[in-house]
Amino acid sequence: MATTSFAKDILPLFRPGDIACMKARGVLLDSYAYMSDDTDGHSNAQDVYDALTGAATPRMPFHGPYWQQSQLDLFAKWMSDGYQP
């Protein structure tokens, strides 16, 4: 299986409304630099993933529909593949 990338695989999963909603809260879903920041062990991406899976609250997207397992798996693969651009 090919390496996942933020631009090709992850960014398209976020709807424009999700991006705008989270940007108002300081979470930059459409920013590779933000999502891949390794200052705190890639905590931004992990925090987003936890909110998407429901491991953290509030769950994203706030009013659903929640991501399908295949989408969550793709996000997890992007992280395990090394946060490729």
**Six-digit token string for 54:** 């429901």
DSSP, collapsed to helix, strand or coil, labels residue 56 as coil
What's the chain's average pLDDT? Answer: 95
What pLDDT sits at residue 2? 82
DSSP, collapsed to helix, strand or coil, labels residue 84 as coil
pTM of full prediction above 0.85 = yes
| Cis bond before residue 61 (omega within 30° of 0) | yes
What pLDDT sits at residue 1? 63
pLDDT tens per residue across span 51-68: 999 999 999 998 889 999
State percent of the chain over pLDDT 70: 99
CA 57 to chain centre: 15
Domain spans of the chain?
6-76
